[in-house]
Structure 1
Amino acid sequence: MMSLFAACAWFVIANVGAMLPSKRKHWPFAYGLIAVGIPILGWVVYEQGPWVGLLVLAAAMSVLRWPVIYLWRWIKRGGKAKDADA
């Protein structure tokens, strides 16, 4: 149960951080959320099971949608840098 409280705290911190103004478009904050969120997700899966873990993962992906979009685009390019063919 503590893992779900940690996940909820992660979501509250993520939403409060998104409301704050940022000159660097929140990317350092997003990196910190990812670094903290991965162990929390593992903890949720360990304590609550894979289905609850998938729900938490889907919710986290909706909060951090731009890193997920950029990762998906990078995977579609075959892992190459953006200017690799130029």
Structure 2
Amino acid sequence: MLGTIIGIIIVGLIAGFIARALVPGDDSMSIGATLLLGIVGSFIGGFLGYLIFHKDADEGFLQPSSWIGSIIGAIIALLIWRAVKGRRAVR
């Protein structure tokens, strides 16, 4: 159980950093916010992967598809965060 939690944290942190590097723009996020972005992205990517391919985490977390799904999910989460953040700034 502890290994799974540590794995999720590591994958989330790496996915968050990669998502922030791939999406252009200024994001003043702390390491904790980047970690949260990656973890949320992992859940989004895992959910989308399950909907599309009908496979889940029972086959393991350290697969290329899970990394790609985590990064794509983190990009989606980052774009949603920017849209919500931009909406608040306009008001």
**Which structure: greater helix fraction?**
2
Higher Cα Rg, which structure: 1
State the TM-score, normalized to the length of structure 2.
Answer: 0.31
